[in-house]
Amino acid sequence: MQVKSTVNAAGRKVPLLINGEKVVPFRGVGKHKPTGRKYAPPIPSCTDYPPDGNKVLASLGEALRKCGLRDGMTISTHHHLRDGDLIANRVFEIAREMGVKDLVWFPSASFPCNEPLIKYLEDGTINRIEGSMNGPLGRFVSEGRMKGTAVLRSHGGRVQAIQDGEVKIDLAVLVAPSADSFGNARGTGGKSACGVIGYAKPDSMYATKVIIVTDNLVDIPCYPMEIEGNYVDYVVVVDKIGIPEKIVSGTTEITKSPDRLLIAELTASFLELSGILTDGVRIQAGAGGTSLAIGVFIHEILKNKGWRSAFGFGGSTKYMVRMLEEGQMGYILDAQAFDLDAVRSVEENPLHVPYPVFNAYNYHSKGNLTSMMDIMILGATEVDLNFNGNVVSHSDGYLLHGIGGWQNCLHARNVILPLPLFRDRIPVIVDSVTTLCGPGELIDVVITERGIAINPLRKDLIRRVKGSGLPLTTIGELKEEAENICGKPSKPEFEDRVVAAVKWVDGTVIDVVRQIKTKK
C-alpha cells in the first residue's frame, strides 16, 4: 500500500498514516495544541474484586488468561529492571504458547536482554514494538524485518500518548521489586530492588487491565505506593523478576578517557563562567561517564562557593547521592536509580524522592519539570549545522537507541551537549542529522574536546562568556575540524519504506527512519 506523505515543519518527509492510524506531522516547537479529552479507561467496580483485597494468582499465564489476552492487544511493560528483566520476554513466550497473534509491545524502553523477542516478531506473535529499540532489535527493524512500523517516543511522549489515548493499553504487565496482595507496589526492597518504578504509573492508571509481577510479596500496605493497588487487577508472585547485577550497576563510574575528562572540565568551566551555575541551581545530567565527571566537577564548584543545588532530577547515581548527603543538593527527584548507592538512598533518605515521569515530562500537562531545569546535560549520536540533534540512529543509518527523556529534557533553560568530536573516527557534527529527534532551536551549546559552539540564537550566552578564556568556536568549524581528521563519511542509503516513526513530545511526527539499503 502506498501511504500519502507530506513534508513537516522541520522539512522532513513523513507519512500521514502509520500502522493504519492517522498521524499529525510536526508543526514546530509549541505549535501543535491538543484538542479533545484525555483517554478514559472503563469504570471498574469493587464487586469484581475480592473483598479481602487478595488478588494473587498462581501464575503469569493464569493472569494473562484472566485478563483476556487475545490477538491484536497492546501490552505495556516498564524498563526499571533494565537489562536484568526476566518478565517481559516471558509474557510473549506465554502469548506464543496460547497462539495469540499480532500483539503490540509498548515498553517504556527495551534492552539487549529483549533480543529473544525477535523470534516472536518473526512468527507473528508480535506485530510491532512501540518503544525504544536498542542494539539487536534496532538492527532487526532497520533491516525492514518487523511486520508493523515501530513508533519511537520520548519517555514524556509515551505518557502523553497513553494519557491522550493515542495508545490504548489493553494490558499492563508491571514488575515490582515489592508489592502487596492488593497490588500496591514499589521499587525498593526484596532481591530485585531497582529504586523507583515511576515509569509504570501512567500504565497503571490508563490500562484496561493491570498485572503486578513481584518476587517480594509484602504485607498490606506496601508503602510508598508508587503503583496504587486500586488500579491493579491481579498480582503474580514468581521466584525471580530480575537478575540483580543487570538491574543496577554495582557502581557507576566517571570516565577515565583524557578526552572525555577534558570535555567534562570544559563543561563545568562553561557552566561556571557563563553564570548558569548559581546557588539554588536545578540540575539534570545522565549516568554516562562524561556526565558523571561533569557532576563531580559541579559538586566541587558548589562546595567551594558554599552553594547548594535546589534539586537534581535523576536518573540518580552515587555522585548525585553524594551531593545530597554532603549538603550540596536539596532533593533528588528520581525517575530511575542507576546504581546501588542510588537504590539505597531512595530507600533510606526522605530527601531522595521517587518522582514519576508522569509528573516530570508529560508535555500535555499543566506545565512540567523539564522547563524549570537550569542545567541539562544531554548526549547525541549526531548534531548538525543547525544544532538539530539525533539520538536514535547512527550515521550508518541503523536504529540503535531509544529516545529516553532526551526530547523532553530539551525544554530546559540551558541544554548542553558535551560530545566527543568523533567516535570510532565518525564525526559527530554533520551537515544534516540522519534522523531528526530534536529541533536545533532547543539545543544551546555543544561542547567538544576541541572547542565550544554556542547556538547563535543564544546571544545572551555568547555575550556572557565573551572574553572568558573559554575555547569558543562555531558548529561549522567543529565540523570542519572533525572532517579534516576523519574525512567526510559516506552517507547511508535507504529504501523508501518507513520502518519507524519518531514522535515529538506533542504526539506529532518529527521524522521517520527508513529501511537500510543492504549491499547486494
Q: Where does this chain bind its own copies (CB under 8 A)?
A: 30, 33-53, 55, 163-164, 182-183, 210, 219-221, 223-225, 228-233, 310-311, 330-331, 333, 350, 353, 355, 358-359, 362-369, 371-372, 411, 413, 506
Q: How many CA atoms lie within 13 A of 480 on its CB side?
A: 6
- Of 449 and 506, nearer to its own copies (C-beta) is 506
**CB of residue 208 vs its own copies: minimum separation in angstroms?**
10
- Of 24 and 486, nearer to its own copies (C-beta) is 24
- Of 45 and 304, nearer to its own copies (C-beta) is 45
Rounded Cα–Cα distance for residues 444 and 412 (Å): 10
Q: Give Cβ neighbours of residue 319 (< 8 Å, ≥ 6 apart).
A: 252, 254, 292, 295, 296, 299
Cross-strand pairs, 129: 105
281 Ramachandran zone, left/alpha/beta (phi>0; psi -120 to 50): beta
- Of 223 and 491, nearer to its own copies (C-beta) is 223
**CB of residue 355 vs its own copies: minimum separation in angstroms?**
8
**CB of residue 46 vs its own copies: minimum separation in angstroms?**
5
ω before 107 within 30° of 0 (cis)?
Answer: no
**CB of residue 282 vs its own copies: minimum separation in angstroms?**
8
- Of 311 and 387, nearer to its own copies (C-beta) is 311
Phi, psi (deg, nearest 5) at residue 37: -120, 160
| DSSP secondary structure letters along 343-410 | HHHHHH-TTEEE--HHHHT-SSSS--GGGG-SEEE---SEEETT--EE-SB-TTS-B----TTHHHHT
Please give the biggest Cα pair distance in the chain. Answer: 72
Query: Which residue matches cell numbers 508489592?
Result: 179
**CB of residue 332 vs its own copies: minimum separation in angstroms?**
11
Report the residue count for the chain. Answer: 520
- Of 332 and 429, nearer to its own copies (C-beta) is 332
- Of 54 and 518, nearer to its own copies (C-beta) is 54
> In this structure, are residues 195 and 150 in contact, taking their beta carbons and an 8 Å threshold?
no
Q: Give Cβ neighbours of residue 447 (< 8 Å, ≥ 6 apart).
A: 263, 266, 267, 270, 416, 417, 418, 419, 453
Rounded Cα–Cα distance for residues 411 and 270 (Å): 20
**CB of residue 119 vs its own copies: minimum separation in angstroms?**
34
- Of 166 and 449, nearer to its own copies (C-beta) is 166
Rounded Cα–Cα distance for residues 280 and 282 (Å): 7
- Of 1 and 46, nearer to its own copies (C-beta) is 46
**CB of residue 493 vs its own copies: minimum separation in angstroms?**
38
Rounded Cα–Cα distance for residues 325 and 171 (Å): 40
**CB of residue 379 vs its own copies: minimum separation in angstroms?**
23
**CB of residue 413 vs its own copies: minimum separation in angstroms?**
8
Q: Residue 374 corresponds to which amino acid?
A: D
